[in-house]
Amino acid sequence: MPLETISVRLAIIDDFDILLNLNHDFRIEESGYGRGSTYSSWINWPLTKDAKKYCTETISTGNVIVGQIGDKLIGYLAFNPNCNVEGDLVEIESLFVNESYRRRGIGTNLVKYFMEIVQRNYKNIRGLTVKHFVSNEDSKKFYEKMGFYPDKIEMRCNLNINLEEHNS
Protein backbone atom coordinates (compact mmCIF):
# COMPACT_ATOMS: atom_id res chain seq x y z
CA MET A 1 0.00 0.00 0.00
CA PRO A 2 1.48 3.40 -0.97
CA LEU A 3 2.25 5.90 1.77
CA GLU A 4 -0.65 8.27 2.38
CA THR A 5 0.08 11.98 2.46
CA ILE A 6 -1.65 13.55 5.46
CA SER A 7 -2.00 17.31 5.44
CA VAL A 8 -3.78 19.92 7.52
CA ARG A 9 -4.75 23.46 6.57
CA LEU A 10 -7.26 26.17 7.32
CA ALA A 11 -10.68 25.46 5.86
CA ILE A 12 -11.87 27.42 2.87
CA ILE A 13 -15.42 28.11 1.75
CA ASP A 14 -15.13 25.36 -0.90
CA ASP A 15 -14.94 22.86 2.01
CA PHE A 16 -18.36 23.98 3.26
CA ASP A 17 -20.56 21.05 2.18
CA ILE A 18 -18.06 18.40 3.24
CA LEU A 19 -17.63 20.08 6.64
CA LEU A 20 -21.38 20.10 7.25
CA ASN A 21 -21.55 16.40 6.36
CA LEU A 22 -18.62 15.61 8.66
CA ASN A 23 -20.26 17.60 11.46
CA HIS A 24 -23.46 15.64 10.95
CA ASP A 25 -21.47 12.38 11.20
CA PHE A 26 -19.80 13.74 14.35
CA ARG A 27 -23.16 14.45 15.95
CA ILE A 28 -24.54 11.03 15.06
CA GLU A 29 -21.51 9.39 16.66
CA GLU A 30 -21.58 11.62 19.75
CA SER A 31 -25.28 10.92 20.27
CA GLY A 32 -24.28 7.52 21.60
CA TYR A 33 -22.31 9.04 24.48
CA GLY A 34 -24.71 11.43 26.17
CA ARG A 35 -28.36 11.56 27.10
CA GLY A 36 -29.25 15.05 25.89
CA SER A 37 -27.46 14.64 22.59
CA THR A 38 -29.86 12.00 21.30
CA TYR A 39 -32.40 14.63 20.32
CA SER A 40 -32.86 14.72 16.59
CA SER A 41 -32.70 18.53 16.58
CA TRP A 42 -29.11 18.37 17.90
CA ILE A 43 -28.11 15.59 15.53
CA ASN A 44 -29.67 17.30 12.51
CA TRP A 45 -28.46 20.82 13.34
CA PRO A 46 -25.87 20.76 10.49
CA LEU A 47 -28.80 20.55 8.05
CA THR A 48 -30.31 23.86 9.23
CA LYS A 49 -29.95 27.45 8.01
CA ASP A 50 -28.40 28.40 11.37
CA ALA A 51 -25.69 25.79 10.86
CA LYS A 52 -24.94 27.04 7.39
CA LYS A 53 -24.61 30.60 8.67
CA TYR A 54 -22.44 29.53 11.61
CA CYS A 55 -20.23 27.34 9.41
CA THR A 56 -19.71 30.14 6.90
CA GLU A 57 -18.74 32.57 9.67
CA THR A 58 -16.43 30.08 11.38
CA ILE A 59 -14.64 29.24 8.14
CA SER A 60 -14.29 32.90 7.17
CA THR A 61 -12.76 33.83 10.55
CA GLY A 62 -10.13 31.07 10.24
CA ASN A 63 -11.47 28.98 13.12
CA VAL A 64 -11.75 25.67 11.27
CA ILE A 65 -8.85 23.40 10.37
CA VAL A 66 -9.28 20.47 8.01
CA GLY A 67 -7.34 17.25 7.66
CA GLN A 68 -7.02 15.43 4.41
CA ILE A 69 -5.34 12.47 2.81
CA GLY A 70 -4.34 13.40 -0.69
CA ASP A 71 -7.14 15.71 -1.75
CA LYS A 72 -9.88 13.93 0.26
CA LEU A 73 -11.10 15.92 3.28
CA ILE A 74 -11.60 13.42 6.10
CA GLY A 75 -11.60 15.41 9.35
CA TYR A 76 -11.81 18.81 10.96
CA LEU A 77 -11.21 20.78 14.13
CA ALA A 78 -13.37 23.82 14.91
CA PHE A 79 -12.35 26.19 17.68
CA ASN A 80 -13.61 29.21 19.58
CA PRO A 81 -11.05 31.81 20.69
CA ASN A 82 -13.68 33.63 22.80
CA CYS A 83 -14.88 30.79 25.01
CA ASN A 84 -14.54 32.32 28.47
CA VAL A 85 -15.13 35.66 30.15
CA GLU A 86 -11.46 36.21 30.98
CA GLY A 87 -10.49 35.69 27.35
CA ASP A 88 -7.51 33.52 28.22
CA LEU A 89 -8.70 30.12 26.95
CA VAL A 90 -9.35 28.82 23.45
CA GLU A 91 -11.83 25.96 23.17
CA ILE A 92 -11.87 23.08 20.74
CA GLU A 93 -15.57 23.07 19.87
CA SER A 94 -15.42 19.86 17.88
CA LEU A 95 -12.85 17.49 16.47
CA PHE A 96 -13.86 14.71 14.15
CA VAL A 97 -12.05 12.28 11.87
CA ASN A 98 -13.99 9.94 9.60
CA GLU A 99 -13.98 6.54 11.30
CA SER A 100 -12.33 4.83 8.31
CA TYR A 101 -9.28 7.10 8.68
CA ARG A 102 -8.71 7.05 12.43
CA ARG A 103 -5.46 6.01 14.10
CA ARG A 104 -3.39 7.40 11.23
CA GLY A 105 -2.27 10.62 12.93
CA ILE A 106 -4.88 12.92 11.45
CA GLY A 107 -6.41 13.99 14.78
CA THR A 108 -2.93 14.50 16.24
CA ASN A 109 -1.93 16.66 13.27
CA LEU A 110 -5.14 18.70 13.57
CA VAL A 111 -4.51 19.41 17.26
CA LYS A 112 -0.82 20.24 16.72
CA TYR A 113 -1.70 22.67 13.92
CA PHE A 114 -4.38 24.20 16.15
CA MET A 115 -1.82 24.68 18.94
CA GLU A 116 0.56 26.39 16.49
CA ILE A 117 -2.20 28.77 15.37
CA VAL A 118 -3.08 29.66 18.96
CA GLN A 119 0.55 30.26 19.95
CA ARG A 120 1.15 32.39 16.86
CA ASN A 121 -2.06 34.44 16.83
CA TYR A 122 -3.41 34.66 20.39
CA LYS A 123 -0.72 36.12 22.66
CA ASN A 124 -2.76 36.44 25.89
CA ILE A 125 -3.98 32.84 25.93
CA ARG A 126 -2.93 30.77 28.93
CA GLY A 127 -4.45 27.47 27.82
CA LEU A 128 -6.71 25.33 25.73
CA THR A 129 -9.91 23.61 26.73
CA VAL A 130 -12.15 20.89 25.33
CA LYS A 131 -15.30 19.13 26.50
CA HIS A 132 -16.05 15.51 25.78
CA PHE A 133 -18.52 12.98 27.06
CA VAL A 134 -17.34 11.19 30.21
CA SER A 135 -18.23 7.84 28.65
CA ASN A 136 -16.05 8.47 25.58
CA GLU A 137 -12.84 6.83 26.81
CA ASP A 138 -11.12 7.02 23.41
CA SER A 139 -11.61 10.78 23.35
CA LYS A 140 -10.29 11.14 26.90
CA LYS A 141 -7.17 9.09 26.11
CA PHE A 142 -6.55 11.04 22.91
CA TYR A 143 -6.73 14.44 24.61
CA GLU A 144 -4.55 13.26 27.49
CA LYS A 145 -1.96 12.09 24.94
CA MET A 146 -2.06 15.61 23.49
CA GLY A 147 -1.32 17.18 26.92
CA PHE A 148 -4.84 17.94 28.15
CA TYR A 149 -5.77 17.07 31.72
CA PRO A 150 -9.03 16.96 33.69
CA ASP A 151 -9.85 20.37 35.16
CA LYS A 152 -13.58 20.54 35.89
CA ILE A 153 -16.56 18.31 35.60
CA GLU A 154 -19.73 19.65 34.09
CA MET A 155 -22.84 18.26 35.71
CA ARG A 156 -26.32 18.60 34.27
CA CYS A 157 -29.84 18.08 35.41
CA ASN A 158 -32.88 17.46 33.25
CA LEU A 159 -35.73 19.83 34.04
CA ASN A 160 -38.35 17.12 33.72
CA ILE A 161 -37.44 15.65 37.13
CA ASN A 162 -39.81 15.47 40.06
CA LEU A 163 -38.57 18.15 42.47
CA GLU A 164 -40.54 16.62 45.36
CA GLU A 165 -38.26 13.57 45.25
CA HIS A 166 -35.19 15.78 45.69
CA ASN A 167 -36.37 17.90 48.64
CA SER A 168 -35.31 15.47 51.34
What is the per-residue pLDDT across 3-44, written as a single tens digit (0 to 9) for each? Answer: 678 899 999 999 988 888 888 787 777 666 554 445 566 667
Tell me: the pLDDT tens digits for 74-131?
999 999 887 666 678 888 988 989 989 989 999 999 999 999 999 998 888 888 888 8
Domains recognised in the chain with CATH numbers: 6-166 (3.40.630.30)
Cβ atoms 124, 88 nearer than 8 A: yes
How far apart are alpha carbons 76 and 93 in whole angstroms? 11
How far apart are alpha carbons 13 and 55 in whole angstroms? 9
The neighbouring-strand residues paired with 96 are 76
Chain centre to alpha carbon of residue 120: 20
How far apart are alpha carbons 75 and 89 in whole angstroms? 23
